[in-house]
Amino acid sequence: MINDIIKALPTEPPKEAFEHYKECIRDQNIIIYQSTMAYFPLEDRRRKAVKCKCTACGDEFIEERYDFQADCFYSRPPAPFGFIDPRTNEPVYEGLDFICPYCGSPVRARHISGTHKDFIVSEYFFNTVHEVNGALCILCWCLRKVADKDGNVKHTVTMCDGNIFKGKTSYTVSAYLKNYNPYTGYTAIYQGYWRKQSYWEDKIGKVHSCDIFPFDQEVLSRSRYENCKLDKFISKIEECHPALYMEIYIKHPNIENLVMCGMSRLVEEKLSSLRGTKSNLSKNMGIDFKESKPYKMLRLNSKTDLLLARRYRFNNEWLLFYADFKDSVSIEEILELKRSKCTYDLRILDIVTSRFDVRLTTVVNYLDKQKKRYGSKYNVIMYKDYISALLNLIDKKEITKEHLFPKNLKTQHDSATQRWAQIQYEQGAEEKKARSLQIEKRAAKLAQFCYQSENLLITPCPSDKALFIEGNTLSHCVYRYSESYANGNTAIFFIRKKDMPEAPYFTLEYSEKDNEILQNRGYDNEAPPKEVVVFAKEWLKYVTKLIKEKQNGKSTCSKSKQHANA
């Protein structure tokens, strides 16, 4: 059945769509130039010049040739020369955007040797929605404006990708193959026909609503998706994931209830944050699809909460936080925090609100006062570490409001965390030895992520003792993470200066699960300077590359094993 649908897919977009999107690239043009010999009357002789042709006005004209010096950065293939713009007397060269001196249109200079056959003046991707044999098809097209070496312009349309939805099943189609060239990288070879891919993937991706050509409700009705509200979803927001929305809809049709109650923007935000395979897409949205009423689907208390969330444009983060902790936080408090542009990680604040009879706004107001009084180092992470150490040192029943909200957070934080670190370090010999062995194994595993630049280097924490010394020397609470580091819940790295590799400089916490840097702190929890920030970003890119190479290696290896077994 799917093969019959693929064979029946249109190979050209509707004529109205072609004409509509042709207008979007109408003002994009080039000037093709080449070397020639021309007669100059004032000099009464023929000499080298440059012949130009503009695709906007079609005029052909001769301009003064400009040869670049050998050491000039403009001197690069395929055009070691250019021409003089008569309007500005400035040199024009390959790839430069400027104004045509005769018709005033914005153009780009292209040397005739820049292509074998045709110049691609501009590309524009758009999408169309069709009903084919009872299936709903969302297809992507590439509209090209091309010019030959004589400056003649034409428009071509190429099939790209698409998604097909039939009943409760979805398919992916493509019309090109990727070819790898060691000089140019991956290039697309267009086949001219649609073919089915082996697994489902959102090939349409996130697109601007105006790049989806308007379609009639009849298209949805004929494909038996008359209630999906795809048209309403697309029209209510500027950018959206149409294929991903349909993929969720065929499994959970009640998602259209959220669109109908004006929550299209929130649905799109949830779609944009999805990660994972086809099987667990809906699980990661934070929506209770077992319910049908919108406020219950979003795990809110009442319709009033839904109205407030819609009126004040709650984003996904605020709404999920309220849904998780609605028993201890009212939506009015969340609204007040949103009005004050609270930038705290709301989930970290749960360490207080979920354990003690304290309102969220009380915690935020306290942290704001500490930040204004003592500076940016008095942040929510420091407060979280302080409360964690406090719960380990004092019984929960004995903790008072004076403990929860000390006048000087920095002093109490240092005291509590250092006391707890000392207790951990002086624990029983067997427990300490076991933790140390675990840390050493972790360090050996993370050694692949060692990295260095011209001035800095980064290595994993090698031992339990080294972690304790790091915290004491830099006067921060990194040793509190010893158990988490040993158990593999987090990773601790030391940043050092190359000329002083043994001296603690900055301590970095890294999440292997999310592949992101969680913290990077120096002495007394100071923020890293620009040099260290840049180094950490370069290191993270290096780690990401290693992880991808390892994953690709595993997938290649597994395919080889399957082939061998077959």
> Coil, helix or strand for 110?
strand
Type and span of the H or E element at 19: helix 15-22
Q: Are 67 and 81 in contact (CB under 8 A)?
A: yes
DSSP-derived 3-state class of residue 114? helix
Strand partners, 54: 31
**CA dist 535 to 456, 493, 496, Å?**
8, 13, 11
Q: Contact at 8 Å (CB) between 33 and 109?
A: yes
Per-residue pLDDT of the chain (566 residues; tens, 9 = 90+): 899 999 999 999 999 999 999 999 999 999 999 999 999 888 889 999 999 999 998 889 999 998 876 545 444 456 788 999 998 999 998 888 999 988 999 999 999 987 778 899 999 999 999 999 999 999 999 999 999 988 899 999 999 999 999 999 999 999 988 776 666 566 778 888 999 988 888 889 999 999 999 998 899 999 999 999 999 999 989 999 999 999 999 999 999 999 999 999 999 988 888 754 555 677 778 888 999 999 999 988 889 888 888 888 888 878 877 887 777 677 877 777 776 656 555 656 666 766 777 777 777 778 778 877 766 666 677 787 788 788 878 887 788 888 888 888 878 887 887 787 777 666 666 677 788 889 999 999 999 999 999 889 999 999 888 888 888 888 788 888 888 899 888 999 999 999 888 889 999 999 888 888 988 988 877 888 999 999 999 999 999 888 888 877 654 444 333 333 43
Q: In this structure, how many other beta carbons lie within 10 angstroms of the beta carbon of residue 548?
A: 11
Q: What's residue 328's pLDDT?
A: 67
* Residue 93 amino acid letter: Y
Per-residue pLDDT at 364 = 77
Q: Could you tell me if residue 97 is left (phi over 0), alpha (psi between -120 and 50 degrees) or otherwise beta?
A: beta
- pLDDT, residue 557, reads 43
Q: Which residues contact 407 (CB under 8 A, 6 or more apart)?
A: none
As a whole number of angstroms, the distance between CA 53 and CA 47 comes to 19
Taking CA atoms, 283 is separated from 27, 277, 315, 418, 530, in Å, by: 45, 11, 19, 41, 39
CB 281 within 8 A of CB 274: yes
**What per-residue confidence (pLDDT) applies to 321?**
76
Q: SS3 for 155?
A: strand
Tokens in use for 175?
């019309």
Q: What CA dihedral angle connects 402, 405, 407 and 412, to 10 degrees?
A: 90
Burial (CB count <10 Å: 0-12, 13-18, 19+), residue 530: exposed
The whole-number pLDDT of residue 458 equals 94
Residue 65 β-bridge partners: 83
How many Å apart are CA 89 and CA 105, to the nearest integer?
18
Question: Could you write out the three-class secondary structure of 226-295?
Answer: CCCCHHHHHHHCCEECHHHHHHHHHHCCCHHHHHHCCCHHHHHHHHHCCCCCHHHCHHHHCCCCCCCCHH
Phi/psi of residue 328, each to 5°? Answer: -115, -10
Tokens at 361, concatenated: 């706004």
Rounded to whole angstroms, how far apart are CA atoms 465 and 437?
11
Closest CA to 472 of 523, 396, 533: 523
The number of beta carbons lying within 10 Å of the beta carbon of residue 525 is: 22
- Cα separations in angstroms, 411 against 153, 175, 348, 389, 481: 73, 64, 21, 13, 20
Residues ≥6 apart with Cβ < 8 Å to 224: 134, 167
Q: What is the pLDDT of residue 235?
A: 92
